[in-house]
Structure 1
Amino acid sequence: MFTQWFPSNPYRSRPGPEILRTRLSPDGNEADAELWLPVGRGQG
């Protein structure tokens, strides 16, 4: 996230809570995840 996505977008990380949500399928063979980060407009 910090080395690939942020450098190519006009947003920057800012202080605040970071939330990671993961879900495992009932059979345990698949999972998905969401990462929520506080961001703000970067200096242009």
Structure 2
Amino acid sequence: MVKGLTIELIGSVTRVEKDAVTVSLGGPVVTVALDVVRLVKL
């Protein structure tokens, strides 16, 4: 776990679970804990 890092993931949300969200970045897929995610609708 990396603390204090802010990154912006621009991609499609492919899965939302009880405690995590998975985002497809057009190749790589990233899963992030929901307690550290801020979802922004563009």
Higher-Rg member (1/2): 1
Compare relative contact order (CA 8 Å, sep 6+) and give the higher one, 1 or 2: 1
Q: Which has the higher strand share?
A: 1
TM-score, length-normalised on structure 2? 0.28
TM-score, length-normalised on structure 1? 0.27
